[in-house]
Amino acid sequence: MTAKAKLLSDYRSPEFTIDQIDLTIELEPQATRVTSVMQVRRQGRHNNPLVLEGEQLQLQSVAIDGRMLDATGYSQTDTHLTIAEVGDAFELNIVVMINPQANTSLEGLYLSDGAFCTQCEAEGFRKITYYLDRPDVLARFTTTIIGDASQFPFMLSNGNQVAKQQLDDGRTAVTWQDPFPKPCYLFALVAGDFDLLEDSFQTMSGRHVTLQLFVDKGNLDRADYAMASLKNAMAWDEQVYGLEYDLDIYMVVAVDFFNMGAMENKGLNVFNSKYVLANARSATDQDFNGIESVIGHEYFHNWTGNRVTCRDWFQLSLKEGLTVFRDQCFSEDMTGSAVNRIDDVAIIRSHQFAEDAGPMAHPIRPQSVIEMNNFYTVTVYNKGAEVIRMMHTLLGADGFRRGMDLYFERHDGQAVTCDDFVQAMEDANAFDLSRFRTWYQQAGTPEVSVTDHYNAETQTYTLNFSQQTPATADQSDKTATHIPLRIGLYDDTGAAIPLNTEAKLTDGNVYSLLTESASVTFDHVKTAPTPALLKGFSAPIKLNYQYSDVQLLTLAQHCEDGFTRWDAIQSLLARYIWQIADGETSTLPQNIIDGVLAIASDGEIEAALKARLLQLPTVNGLVNQRQQIDIHPLLNALDVIREQLASALYDCCLALYQQLQQPDYQLDAESIAKRSLSASCLGWIAAANPPAADQLCVALYNNSDNMTEQLNALTIANRFDLASRNSLMDQFEQRWQDDGLVMDKWLNLQGCWNSEQCFGNLAKVEGKPFFKLTNPNRARSLIAGFSAMNYRYFHAQDGSGYQWLAEKIQNLNSINPQIAARLINPLTQWRKFTAPQADQMKAQLEQIYQLSDLSKDLQEIVGKSLGH
């Protein structure tokens, strides 16, 4: 049966609310008893029954105000409990039994390597007990956990611990009380035996907050960086936004079985261990950056998500887009590097633009949804963050802070909408954001086309803008939106030209494009300039302007904005990759080769930025530049460009590589930048001279004392299938086979292996004892490594790559539908490709769609992809 979509337009306030809930949870792996005592109130004048959500629950009893109801007093379905006769205010007591051990979906209460754990966002609480499982019902939670203290010495929940007692039967009861009303998606429970890292933080008002990180036994030496990141995040939020933590204790628990990166449950954050555990031996620089970002993200949710939460799930970007923006700014301030912005944009262009152009296109505030888990997307999160960033750009840092202050003043303790946030920004600054609201209502990637004219006699330069948003799968008609364009002009030497214009530019030379077309003229421009039209990626758009090769080289070599430099070199290389793929040329012009070599040789360019400037465009980014492509000529063209540039860069990159070697591992911005550039150089060396690179990889792997450099060596050996590849992979496996997080890196490389042996190798890897489809990290590492990164073999001519992924999706459908839905994405892009690839991908989707037990998660995505 096809699931029915829920519509934003159908939103109605809850007919009942719950002011207080007292939970008693008696832990047993297969038979956990959950008793809930709720104080319920009718809202509004109506006589409707009370309808509660619940799934996979064994109902034991229902009582109202102490009166036990028999089966005539309520009715049940697989998803709801309905009580017909209720008063206007009453106490509701419900007892259910649940089976955490059988819960492989990892939603609700489940077991993670012997520890009890919860994940309730978005709709997991209904797998714990019957409840009004919606974010606009805010209740105060008191939770008593009962269990065997010898087996579960730590029994944790939201808020502050208020009681602990030994029961007559030998079990222990621990009670937690959260003083802040919250929706049930923020409920958390963890019970297990962990190692504990404890610290404290003094808030700006002088309060002392206890900080606790719980990790699996034996991993305490890998928790220090997460703790330091947490303290940095707490200090940053006070300094930048004046936001102080509000409980006596803040807890983070790292678990290995987790569908998401982490969860911001009030006072008790549950994290995927990937984003907590790290030391130099086991984690890369990228891992450390990820930990800092995610630790910050979940902490920042305390105010942007918890104290002010979503009215309904269509407003998800209210908390996620805003908090991603905050964690991006936090990371930028911690590193002080331009490359953070480049990396953020790369995600938008490689993944979010594809989503906008695909079957699951939706605005950052969707209009309809079948399975809410499917809308935890790069559109809601990352494009949502770009929309918040645009407001920050338009209002300035001070104006944005005024808007945030007003938002909290108005809405602390409430469940609100995206409109409420924009209204606070508007009111705090007397700034008209009416046109800007289109970003929340409209799917798709706006395209801004630009023409220009230089008048030498009057020394004026005019830019003509026009905007349009192509039709998307969910919307055909689009309207003009508010697009902030940060502009710069440069002369032939790369020197910046002052911007003199009668047009209104906000701070940072930002021009607001508000209509379908507009023009702006600059005076006192002595020579025809090179324009930079989207500095800092000031809006998540596609920009169409006919740059010459010389103009792009000028921006790549001289612009002060790191993003613009990277964007220029990416655009230049992409131009010739497509020309080679289309058969229009066979070589890269010498002046462009010389320009890239000049960048590599420029000692003034910061190492981290140079590493990005020496990157080739990604396949995903290139695929998004056209409506439909033949994938194999594109891959061949990339190989041609890589070989030509590698030959020219070899001597420079070899010299750079030798200069960049560091005697000792240091985790600071300069050292991280050097390792990043060193890895880039090693890749170019491998492309030009595999035997020389092989020797360097072996030496780097054997002589390094840190995971970053060892994995760099392994990655290059794997990518270029160097002679040492198998030996190094075996050594790595022998060293780390008992460490799941580290083996995720190995699994990912196995999926990426660009070799004729890849399919036989995948079957061999799947048989390894440490690979389990039930573990989301293991499944993601191998499956996404193959389907999202091994382009040549995923798109194998005989369709075997698509078949391999489809088999994994069918297996995951019954194990963990959330993960299946996230991993199926490469198949849903079938319309982007020509035959026979498109037909083969579609055939696999049709087969999946016919599954008799197809989950709602997959039904929505596959159905939309096929147009059903």
Q: Which H or E run contains 564?
A: helix 562-581
- Quote the crossing angle between the two packed helices 776-787 and 758-766, to the nearest 10°: 180
| CA dist., res. 713 & res. 718, Å (int) | 9
- Quote the crossing angle between the two packed helices 758-766 and 800-815, to the nearest 10°: 20
| CA dist., res. 343 & res. 670, Å (int) | 17
Q: How far is CA 259 from CA 372, 802, 819, in A?
A: 14, 23, 7
Pick the closest to residue 558 from 501, 497, 486, 622 (CA basis).
497
Strand pairing category for 140-147 and 154-157: unpaired
For residue 703, what are the contacts with CB-CB under 8 A and spacing of at least 6? Answer: none
Numbers of helices and strands, H then E, in the chain: 28, 34
| CA dist., res. 408 & res. 389, Å (int) | 18
* Largest pairwise CA distance in the chain: 96
DSSP code of residue 442: -
Cis peptide before 817 (omega within 30 of 0): no
Active site residue 298: yes
| CA dist., res. 306 & res. 325, Å (int) | 16
Amino acid of residue 152: F
Structural tokens at position 637: 């063209």
Residue with tokens 């887009």: 321
| CA dist., res. 326 & res. 329, Å (int) | 5
Which of 121, 292, 298, 426 is labelled catalytic? Answer: 298
Pick the closest to residue 787 from 744, 842, 826 (CA basis).
826
Amino acid of residue 32: T
Q: How many CB atoms lie within 10 A of CB 295?
A: 28
Q: Which residues of 830-849 are buried (b: 16+ CB within 10 A; e: fewer)?
A: bbbbeeebeebbbbbbeebb
344 SS3 class = helix
DSSP code of residue 599: H
Cα Rg of the chain (Å, integer): 28
Q: How far is CA 529 from CA 455, 538, 549, in A?
A: 11, 20, 14
Across-strand partners of 74? Answer: 83
Active site residues: 298
